[in-house]
């Protein structure tokens, strides 16, 4: 079952927290809503669940307008950051809750609870209380509870952010496996973590300041972001203001070769290059600057180089002889690794 936001606007006391969102999640698709806190991504999810009512616009589930439907009639599975497992019920009772609320038959409840716990690897913990489980285990139970009602749509609100880094990557692959096992379930996955979004999502909707900034597959957003916010929020990027010439741009008095298809000569634009695509030393598209900071990150060195008043980051495979602070260095990048974006905040 697909989800459709049809120009959905949500406001509290005149404060617009979600501004005319138009977005469609196809049946069986994993859509990540990615953005910083306050970007409106959680509000969008809660509008699907039915906990916030849009001031205008419609929310559709499988083509049906559910805007005025109370949450308990929507048949949606939801998993939240703090799990919200019922502390007074055992694990199996938690998982059975939705089925009991639907007055399912006893045998069916037993079978579906077992199935959901099996799927999340929690079958051995059925008679425990939530407080006797670790964070990761609680999260699995929360997912099992949501899946037990066999929802067509699963909403996940920052499901991994209460876990520590090691558990998080494990749960991430668990979620990916669940998605493979349940190919018909649409998932709306709210996160502020771009790694989670890139790993899990079929498509990513990037949100900022209550608005949808851009939407596309992870590769599209990463390789050819459409705007500065998307470029820096998804994967991190060097963004510098340039003036477009013919067949290239000029930056800091240097002519750089870039694909300028579709951009008028003489226009101002933003040049975007991912830090790991920047090389140290001589090469095509070369700029010169001063090292202002060096961070050793084990496998890589990150260099901050000031070029004509702009800070440029370069992620380099661990250097034998890294430059010193204040050294003048040359940086370069391949023309095909650069993307030209419309001029934005870097010009202000």
Partner 1 sequence: MLVHSRGAKWAVWAVFLLLFVPLFALPLLVVLGASFATHWSSVLPSGLTTANYRAATRGEALQALTTSLLTAAGASLLALAVGTWAALAGAALKQRYRRVVDALFVLPVAVPSVVVGLSVLVAFSKPPMLLNGTRWIVILAHTVLVTAFAHQSVSAAVTRLDPAYEQAAASLGARPSTVLWRVRLPLLLPSLTAAAGLCFALSMGELSATMMLYPPDWTPLPVLIYAATDRGALFTGSAVAVVLMAATLLVLFALSRVRTRASYR
Among 82, 134, 243, 311, binds partner 1 (CB under 8 A): 82
Sites for partner 1 among residues 313-342 (CB under 8 A): none
Nearest distance in Å: CB 120, partner 1: 16
> C-beta of 317: minimal distance to partner 1 in Å?
45
Query: Cβ distance 39 to 208 under 8 Å?
Result: yes
* Residue 250 β-bridge partners: 243, 255
Site for partner 1 in 155-214 (CB under 8 A): 155
Closest CA to 41 of 158, 161, 196: 158
Contact mark string toward partner 1, 101..140, x via CB under 8 A: xx--------------------------x-----------
Give the count of beta carbons closer than 10 Å to the beta carbon of residue 34. 29
SS3 268: strand
Q: Which is nearer to partner 1, 157 or 227 (CB)?
A: 157
> Taking contact as CB under 8 A, which single stretch among the options 43-51, 193-201, 222-230, 318-326 is the one that binds partner 1?
43-51
Q: How many residues bind partner 1 (CB under 8 A)?
A: 28
Site string for partner 1, 49-78 (x = CB under 8 A): xxx------------------xxxxxxxxx
Nearer to partner 1, 143 or 258 (CB): 143
Smallest separation, CB 125 to partner 1 (Å): 16
Regarding 5 and contact with partner 1 (CB under 8 A), the answer is no
> Among 42, 65, 61, which residue's Cα sits nearest to residue 52?
42
- Cβ atoms within 10 Å, residue 326: 8
Instruction: Work out which of 149, 188, 190, 201 binds partner 1, going by CB under 8 A.
Output: 149
Residue with Cβ nearer partner 1 (97 or 125): 97
For partner 1, the closer CB: 145 or 274: 145
98 binds partner 1 (CB under 8 A): yes
Distance in Å, CB of 152 to partner 1, minimum? 13
22 in Cβ contact with 5 (< 8 Å): yes
87 is a site residue for partner 1 (CB under 8 A): yes
Min separation Cβ 39 and partner 1, Å:
21
Nearest to 138 by CA among 94, 176, 105: 94
* Nearest CB to partner 1, comparing residues 4 and 145: 145
Could you give the strand order of the β-sheet that contains 248-251, starting from the edge strand earlier in sequence?
254-257, 248-251, 238-244, 268-273, 338-342
CB-CB contact of 270 with 310 (8 Å): no
Q: Which of 80, 126, 239, 338 binds partner 1 (CB under 8 A)?
A: 80
Q: How far is the CB of 10 from partner 1 (least distance, A)?
A: 16
Nearest distance in Å: CB 160, partner 1:
17
How far, in Å, are 89, 91, 99, 145, 276 from residue 109 at the CA level? Answer: 16, 14, 6, 12, 51
CA distance linking residue 168 with residue 162, whole number of Å: 9
DSSP string for residues in 151-191: -SEEEEESTTTTS-HHHHHHHHHHHHHHHHH-TT-EEEEEE
Q: Which is nearer to partner 1, 43 or 260 (CB)?
A: 43
Q: Which is nearer to partner 1, 76 or 122 (CB)?
A: 76
CA–CA separation, 280 and 286 (whole Å): 9
Q: Please compute, for residue 206, the number of CA atoms within 13 A of its CA located in the half-sphere on the CB side.
A: 22
Query: Which residues would be at the binding site for partner 1 (CB under 8 A)?
Result: 49-51, 70-78, 80, 82, 84-88, 97-98, 101-102, 129, 145-146, 149, 155
């Amino acid at each position: 079952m697909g989800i459709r936001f049809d120009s959905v606007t949500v406001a509290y006391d005149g404060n617009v927290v979600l501004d005319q969102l138009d977005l469609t999640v196809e049946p069986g698709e994993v859509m990540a809503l990615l953005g910083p806190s306050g970007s409106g991504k959680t509000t969008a999810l809660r509008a699907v669940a039915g906990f916030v009512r849009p001031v205008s616009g419609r929310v559709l589930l499988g083509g049906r307008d559910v805007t005025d439907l109370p949450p308990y009639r929507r048949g949606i599975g939801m998993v939240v950051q703090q799990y919200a497992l019922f502390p007074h019920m055992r694990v199996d009772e938690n998982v059975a809750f939705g089925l009991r609320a639907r007055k399912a038959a006893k045998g069916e409840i037993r079978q579906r609870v077992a199935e959901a716990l099996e799927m999340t690897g929690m079958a051995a913990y059925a008679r425990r209380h939530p407080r006797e489980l670790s964070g990761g285990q609680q999260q699995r139970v929360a997912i099992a509870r949501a899946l037990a009602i066999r929802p067509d749509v699963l909403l996940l609100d920052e499901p991994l952010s209460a876990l520590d880094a090691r558990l998080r990557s494990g749960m991430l692959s668990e979620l990916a496996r669940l998605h493979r096992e349940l190919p018909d379930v649409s998932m709306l996955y709210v996160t502020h973590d771009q790694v989670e979004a890139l790993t899990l999502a079929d498509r990513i909707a990037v949100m900022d300041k209550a608005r949808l900034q851009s939407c596309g597959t992870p590769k599209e957003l990463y390789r050819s972001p459409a705007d500065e916010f998307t470029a820096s929020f998804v994967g991190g990027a060097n963004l510098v203001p340039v003036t477009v010439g013919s067949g290239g741009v000029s930056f800091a008095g240097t002519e750089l070769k870039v694909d300028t298809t579709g951009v008028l000569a003489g226009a101002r634009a933003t040049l975007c290059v991912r830090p790991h695509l920047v090389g140290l030393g001589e090469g095509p598209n070369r700029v010169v600057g001063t090292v202002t900071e060096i961070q050793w990150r084990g496998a890589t060195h990150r260099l901050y180089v000031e070029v004509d008043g702009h800070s440029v980051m370069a992620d380099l495979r661990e250097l034998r002889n890294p430059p010193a602070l204040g050294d003048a260095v040359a940086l370069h990048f391949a023309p095909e690794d650069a993307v030209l974006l419309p001029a934005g905040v870097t010009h202000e």
